[in-house]
Structure 1
Amino acid sequence: MTHAFHSLTLADIARHLDVPFDGNGRTPIRGLATLRDAGPDQVAFLANRAYLKDLADTRAGAVVLHPDHGHECPVPRLELDNPYLGYARLSGLFDPVPRRDQPGIHPAAVVADDARLGEGACVAANAVVESGVVLGSGVVIGPGSVVGADSVLGEGTRLHANVTVCHGVVIGRRVILQSGCVIGGDGFGFAHDGSGWHKIAQLGGVVLGDDVEVGSGSSIDRGALGDTLIGDDVKIDSQVQIAHNVRIGDHSALAGCVGIAGSTRVGRHCMLGGGVGLSGHLTLCDGVQVTGMSLVTNSIHAPGVYSSGTGAMENHQWRKNAVRFKQLDDMARRLTRLEKHRDGGSR
């Protein structure tokens, strides 16, 4: 479903992308849609060759695409080397999320007397801002959210509804925290005495850099001693677990259900696919990509794409392969004996 809250012209769209176009610049554009579903008042985009089959029949008012496909486009086109980035830039023009934030404190909010609110900050209904908190200019604290004591939020940061920022957390500028995420909860630290567990107090904090986004239901635990550190421009999807004292470098991205155990370091410009698991105390260098559902148990010191696990297959075939997997060690030993026998017999 595409929402249209205002209308732009094709010329407006082209100016926003800073690209030339062909066609009628006065054509009204009221939203974005897929190649297959777009109508004459919508812009579509082609960033994946899998959808090239839909280009010839599109009814879009214009299409954002790579110059290589321009000659195949039957409607006005906007050519970019990175069409997906163009789509991302246009999406903000038609974002249906309401922005009705009123600066100030809602009567149903609770704000400590010594909390400091920057110019234009907004604290919505049923939010709680505890003692010693500093909110930068333009910060929005959504309904039901909690900001713990002595936390600092940089300018332009937005907490959606029901976000929990625990005590002593430092958050940079223009950070977005989606509903239900928890920043600065206790890390998973316990010592066993042979009969039961003893909790280890988590004495560190969490530091988020600028332009970070954290998806709904994700948790970033505070450090046991030092801080858990998330670099600038890191994008974290929903249902992600980041344990105590993890460090993630600038511009990295984590897809849904990633789990990172304690004290692991992830470099800059890394990408972790959905369901990836990283064991604790590892290091991933800059530029590492790990494909979905992979388990990483050793440090990675060279950039590149890494995978583990197997793709889905018919169950009967998987069961056969599982049996073979159990036999691999015995097969390897037998192969080694055969090679030794062959080499010995050849002398």
Structure 2
Amino acid sequence: MFRLDELVARLGGELVGDGALVVRRVATLDQAGEGDLAFLANPKYLSRLKSSRAAAVIVGHKARDAVTDRPRIVADDPYLYYAQVASVFNPPPPPRPGVHPLAAVSSPVPASVQIDAGAVVEADVEIGDDVVIGAGCSIGQGVRIGAGTRLAPRVVVYAGSVIGRDCIVHSGAVIGSDGFGFAREQNGRWIKIPQMGRVVIGDDVEIGANTTIDRGALDDTVIGRGAKLDNQIQIAHNVQIGEDTAIAGCVGIAGSTTIGARCMIAGGVGIAGHLTIADDVVVSAATVVVKSIHRPGVYTSTLPLQAHADWVKNFSHLRHLDALAERVRALEQEAQRLPDKNSDQTPG
């Protein structure tokens, strides 16, 4: 539990009202009760604030005096402030130093490291202070893991991969598996191309459950500092992802594509290989990216949702666009062949 003035002293913002009020957790306007701190991030929920039982609320500057007389914290971005408060109330559990008797560890580890049952750490692995390696993880030879990084149970990190400081890797993630590299013989058989690069992950990266990141064929696959990757993402070999880029679930990124910094890639997006995406690009959900994007902005290739009958009718029109274009071209050519009525007139 924290006093409001303690939160403001730690996180900033303006305190209005009783700073000695103690709050026990952060909650939504609808679910908040006695002792809870709620937040108003969207003005359309203003009516819910009036009926909320929250003891205090986080609001923006425009709502400082207009919405409630209860104690409040005024912030530039109420949603961001909520996230910071939630982190204060819910810090990650500290490591429980030690190596479980059922773990197999072939490299020296700092005394502050936690390695749980069933984990395997192979030779020549470098592990920083306060690292947590969950149950059943597999850490290949020559891997480097920075201080403060946490691996949930059953993470697999292939040999030679590098993970920075203060990263979070969730269960089932696979880092450093072979990229999909094959050459085809004339008879149709495939010859595997050895994948000799690494995966290099920067500091403060989060990788969701069952996400896979392939090692490079020759160069490294690189995930920049602060990137946030959701669950079930496929990142192919030699991909480069810039700093602070966020990628939602079920995205597939083909090989040798470069994505800039501070991009936001929504769920279900497919990105073809050997493309370049500039900094500060937003790609809408389920979009298929088949060419490079060189300027910041929002990009979408999907059709809006519509009733099935309307979709069938509209798609039937799309099927005839080529024929319609041919008819228009023919009419234009015919119009060009028509005589100019004014050309035969003699000045009077």
Does the pair score TM above 0.5? yes
Give structure 1 stretches of 5+ with no counterpart: 1-6
Matched, 1:28 2:13: no
The 1:334–1:30 alpha-carbon spacing in structure 2 relative to 1, beyond 3 Å, is same
What does 1:184-263 align with in structure 2 at a 5 Å threshold? 184-193=176-185, 194-263=187-256
CA RMSD of the aligned region, Å? 1.7
Preserved CA contact (<8 Å) 1:33 1:43? yes
What does 1:1-347 align with in structure 2 at a 5 Å threshold? 7-74=1-68, 75-95=70-90, 99=93, 101-112=95-106, 115-193=107-185, 194-345=187-338, 347=340
TM-score for both structures, normalised by structure 1: 0.93
Deviation at 1:345, TM superposition (A): 4.1
**Counterpart of 2:101 in 1: which secondary structure?**
coil
Mapped to 1, the partners of 2:169 and 2:81 lie a distance apart of 24
Deviations 1:178-212 (A, max 9, x none): 11111111111222323332322211110001111
Mapped to 2, the partners of 1:43 and 1:243 lie a distance apart of 43
Q: Aligned AA for 1:84?
A: Y
Mapped to 2, the partners of 1:39 and 1:335 lie a distance apart of 66
The 1:344–1:52 alpha-carbon spacing in structure 2 relative to 1, beyond 3 Å, is farther
Deviation at 1:343, TM superposition (A): 4.9
Q: Aligned AA for 1:70?
A: R
Preserved CA contact (<8 Å) 1:103 1:122? yes
**Counterpart of 2:244 in 1: which secondary structure?**
coil
For these two proteins, the number of residue pairs brought into alignment is 338
**Counterpart of 1:250 in 2: which secondary structure?**
coil
Which structure is larger by alpha-carbon Rg, 1 or 2? 2
**Counterpart of 1:323 in 2: which secondary structure?**
helix
Deviation at 1:13, TM superposition (A): 2.3
Deviation at 1:18, TM superposition (A): 1.4
Mapped to 2, the partners of 1:50 and 1:215 lie a distance apart of 31
**Counterpart of 1:299 in 2: which secondary structure?**
coil
Mapped to 1, the partners of 2:125 and 2:257 lie a distance apart of 29
Preserved CA contact (<8 Å) 1:276 1:291? yes
**Counterpart of 1:72 in 2: which secondary structure?**
coil
**Counterpart of 1:116 in 2: which secondary structure?**
coil
Residue identity (%): 45
Deviation at 1:285, TM superposition (A): 1.1
Deviation at 1:336, TM superposition (A): 2.9
Aligned to 2:344: none
Preserved CA contact (<8 Å) 1:119 1:136? no
Deviations 1:219-274 (A, max 9, x none): 11101111101111111011111000000111111011111000000011111011
Mapped to 2, the partners of 1:90 and 1:229 lie a distance apart of 31
The 1:199–1:24 alpha-carbon spacing in structure 2 relative to 1, beyond 3 Å, is same
TM-score for both structures, normalised by structure 2: 0.92
**Counterpart of 1:302 in 2: which secondary structure?**
coil
The 1:262–1:25 alpha-carbon spacing in structure 2 relative to 1, beyond 3 Å, is same
Mapped to 2, the partners of 1:282 and 1:154 lie a distance apart of 30
Aligned to 1:4: none
Moved more, 261-270 or 20-29: 20-29
Aligned to 1:3: none
Preserved CA contact (<8 Å) 1:269 1:286? yes
Preserved CA contact (<8 Å) 1:157 1:174? yes
